[in-house]
Structures are given as structure tokens and as C-alpha cells.
């Protein structure tokens, strides 16, 4: 796993894209602080850049570094969730401006997968995580179902967990600083 993490970090540091297994589905990733890298993700997915992307952080400390104020309720949601849960936060900071939605929010998930935690922890920055598909097509349920355009459009494909069937996408919850909660995707 260490060799895979080191290869990913080299690509991420150079503004490249990785294809990697996450705690949900296979994802396209890049340095979430690099505007040009984020733009490459939109281009590869053929996705309008007004549609926001999710990013992954390694732990609560990294989450707190990239959100102006993490509502206390967020920690309960993260701890009590029975499946990977992405939370949309107000007033993100320290990430690429084209990653932030027009309403000044950002969807962030604290990674629960060991590979993702180690990768992001060693990289020391959030990583974009968006499903490995062309926008408008179905999310692939396994590595074998990933479109050739995605496979050839990234700079590195992680050589781990290719045999496993992926679980479903994460739940998405909008959590405003006034503690208003809205379930976007269960």
C-alpha cells in the first residue's frame, strides 16, 4: 500500500489526476487546493463546473482546517452514520475556488477507508473525490465497469481493490451553520 500511496502523491503534487478506490465507489481524484487540477476533473467527466464536487479529508483536524466553522452536530453525524456520509458545509476555505459551490459551500467527507485516510494524511491536503464516470452516465459498480475514457484520462490508476464490488455512493447531508439539516441523498 505504501508504494501506491507514494505514486499517488507524486501525481497529485504535479497537478495530475488519480483513479482510486474510496470508502464508497471508485473515484477520480486530484489535489483539492489546485484550481487547474480541479478543472481537469470537470473536463474529464465532461461535467459543467457549476455542479460541485466532493472532497475527502483524512480526519476531523483536516476538516476543521478547511471549513470556517464546523457545526457541533457534524461530529455526531459523522460518528453515528452507518454508511459513508458527506456533509455540505458553509464557508469552506483553503481549497481551489472552482471547487466551491456558488452558494459558498463545499461537500466534504471524512474518509473511513484506510487507504484514503493514509493517502490524504500523508499528502496533507484534501483530495477531490468524484465518481469514476462521464457525467450523466451510471456510476460504475466495479473497477471493470469504468469507462475507457476515464481510465485513459487519468495520470495514475491505483493498483488495489480492483476485484471488489463497490458499495453505493455516500449519503449527502446539507448542514448549515444555523444547524439546519437537509438530506440531499440517502
How many separate domains does the chain show? 1
Decide: residue 129, CB within 10 A, 0-12 exposed, 13-18 middle, 19+ buried. buried
pLDDT of 181 reads 85
* Chain segment 21-78, per-residue pLDDT in tens: 988 889 999 999 999 999 999 999 998 776 789 999 999 999 999 999 999 999 998 8
Closest CA to 35 of 94, 91, 99: 99
Q: Rounded distance, CA 58 to CA 53, Å?
A: 17
Please report, for the domain that includes residue 109, its CATH number. 3.90.870.10
Q: Which domain holds residue 14?
A: 2-185
CB 149 within 8 A of CB 62: no
pLDDT in tens, 8-25: 999 999 999 999 998 888
Per-residue pLDDT, 50: 67
Task: Give, in degrees to the nearest 5, the angle at Cα 91 between 86 and 95.
Answer: 75
Amino acid at each position: 500500500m505504501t508504494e501506491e500511496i507514494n505514486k499517488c502523491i507524486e501525481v497529485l503534487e504535479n497537478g495530475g489526476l488519480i483513479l482510486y478506490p474510496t470508502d464508497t465507489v471508485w473515484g477520480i481524484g486530484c489535489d483539492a487546493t489546485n484550481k487547474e487540477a480541479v478543472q481537469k476533473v470537470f473536463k474529464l467527466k465532461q461535467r459543467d463546473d457549476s455542479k460541485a464536487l466532493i472532497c475527502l479529508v483524512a480526519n476531523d483536524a483536516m476538516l476543521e482546517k478547511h471549513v470556517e466553522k464546523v457545526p457541533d452536530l457534524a461530529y455526531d453525524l459523522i460518528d453515528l452514520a452507518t454508511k459513508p456520509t458527506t456533509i455540505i458545509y458553509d464557508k469552506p476555505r483553503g481549497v481551489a475556488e472552482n471547487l466551491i459551490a456558488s452558494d459558498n459551500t463545499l461537500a466534504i467527507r471524512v474518509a473511513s477507508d484506510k487507504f484514503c485516510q493514509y493517502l490524504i494524511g500523508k499528502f496533507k491536503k484534501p483530495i477531490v473525490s468524484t465518481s469514476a464516470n462521464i457525467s450523466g452516465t451510471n456510476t460504475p459498480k466495479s473497477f471493470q465497469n469504468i469507462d475507457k475514457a476515464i481510465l485513459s484520462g487519468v495520470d495514475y490508476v491505483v493498483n488495489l481493490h480492483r476485484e471488489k464490488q463497490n458499495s453505493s455512493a455516500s449519503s449527502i447531508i446539507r448542514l448549515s451553520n444555523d444547524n439546519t439539516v437537509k438530506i440531499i441523498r440517502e
